[in-house]
Amino acid sequence: MTSSLKIALAQINPKVGDIVGNVGLIKAARAEAAKAGADIVVFSELVVSGYPPEDLVYRPAFLDAVENAVHDLAAATADGGPGLLIGAPWRDADKAERKNNGKAHVYNAGLLLDGGKVAGVRFKHNLPNYGVFDEYRVFTAGPVPGPMVFRGVRLGVMICEDMWFEDVAETLAESGAELLVVLNGSPFELDKLDVRLNHAVARVSENRLPLIYVNQIGGQDDLVFDGGSFSLNADRSLAEQMPSWQTALATTDWHKKDGDWVCAAGELSAPLDRLENIYRAMMLGLADYVRKNGFPGVVIGMSGGVDSALTAAVAVDALGPDKVRCVMMPSPYTSNESLEDADGAAKLLGAQLDTVNIGPAMKAYDAMLEPLFTDTRPDTTEENIQARARGITLMALSNKFGHMVLSTGNKSEMSVGYATLYGDMCGGYSVLKDVYKTTVFDLCRWRNAQRPEGALGPEGEVMPERIITKPPTAELKPNQTDQDTLPPYDVLDGILKSLIEGEMGVAAVAAQGFEEGMVRRIYRMLKVAEYKRRQAPPGVKITHIAFGRDYRYPITNGFDDVVAP
């Protein structure tokens, strides 16, 4: 009877749809684990296809390619080396001809590969259908699974959401599982690691079984995966904690003690604080979006303000200064301070800075529209023309040189529509999309004080202190500040967090101590700006409810919480 087992936890960065590339990563991790004497290597959820594959699952050719890759991987295990526990979309041969809403039955599967064959298959039972998850749309829920036997050890394999409920782990324990193993594609959001650990501890406590949790790493469109894989003993002690925000392989040593499996003490990576997690999420999300989509670099409109300065800092840290091009586009309303601060930030970062004056474009539009605007007063129309002139300039540079435009708006601005369509909203990706303005200031101070691990940017300050301390302004008219039309950002963000993440009504938000008239105004601004947000580029998910997949309110929306009974 087996009394010891070496289990490698492979925290790798797959790319959705790149089946050949993902198989290469799996084989490389297996080879490394073999050198460490591993008996089996555990990977993340849907690692063969990448997660989430979305509607690729509907394409038979895609599923054929996945299945061919799985059989190729299975054949590789005939060498007597480590077995593999992998995730992949999988068609059940017994239901191949049956249909689900006109589509073939496809499952989110855990596959055990050993001895040159597919030695076991288990299907995800609890399919998430909330927030960013749409698994009911593309997958069929499997039955509550039983254990799979690997070289005499009964493994209780669960897939991500299965760990969040009691039923699957309980059934596995009752069916004789000796060790719970969870394959995960769990996206990052603030405090998510603690939530995962709490659920894992609950399953361990209920069933008195140890647990292995393997999560993927990397960016995929607006999602970013933070890794943070771990192992828990049956006494709830943490035996292994892998690092967040980096690929890694950890080989854990398991031994039978008094009939139970126990993991020897391994590496315990220290938890990161809130601001470092946010910053590294933005770095990884941007780096993978640029790398996986083949862009040569990014171009950023530098205003001399905090949003563009922070966006540029993240871009340089993620990509390196040689892949970041900054452009200052002054108008007659641009202050000397802004010119100096944009230049100072670019120099501190070591990034290229070009200057394109939009004054001639403003005059051209004034002349073009003058016959139609006769007897009207200047208003936000002329302000928006400035933003759109800048957007056209950035898109021209993008088209000419191939660099992707990064939009620089933050969540506070996008919430209330304080952004110009086809102007400052231009871009292929938004680093700050899910970051409130108050957090932008905190991140700027944090980055000026320390350089995160893995950053390609410089040590020390990355922006002049004045960028952080001066009053925020769009500089679209003389002496303008954001607080001309918005409440102070600490007030605005407090209201927005309650309305968005808290999903609270106007009365409940006002009851927290906010002035009711202000809450009503912000609520209406939030509601009306939905049509803009639908046209915004993707960006890194940070909070519990990010605009996009998490936030699906209709644009045409007759419900008004302000007047509702």
β-pair type (83-91, 40-42): parallel
The answer to whether the peptide bond before residue 52 is cis (omega within 30 degrees of 0) is yes
What H or E segment, with its residue span, contains residue 519?
helix 516-528
> Which has the closest alpha carbon to 496: 549, 417, 405, 424?
417
Q: Which residues are catalytic?
A: 45, 124, 160
DSSP 42-96: E--TTTTT-S--GGGGG-HHHHHHHHHHHHHHHHHGGGSS-EEEEEEEEE-GGGT
Q: How far are the Cα atoms of 137, 291, 371, 381 from residue 376, in angstroms, in the given order?
A: 52, 48, 11, 11
Beta-carbon-side half-sphere exposure of residue 274 (alpha carbons within 13 Å): 8
Residues 6+ apart with CB under 8 A from 328: 301, 302, 303, 304, 339, 342, 343, 353, 354, 355, 356
- Identify the residue whose tokens are 């193993």: 181
Tokens representing 377 are 């007063």
Question: Exposure of 111 by Cβ count < 10 A (0-12 exposed, 13-18 middle, 19+ buried)?
Answer: buried
Tokens representing 499 are 């309305």
Tokens representing 345 are 């930030």
- Provide the residue type at 238 as one letter: L
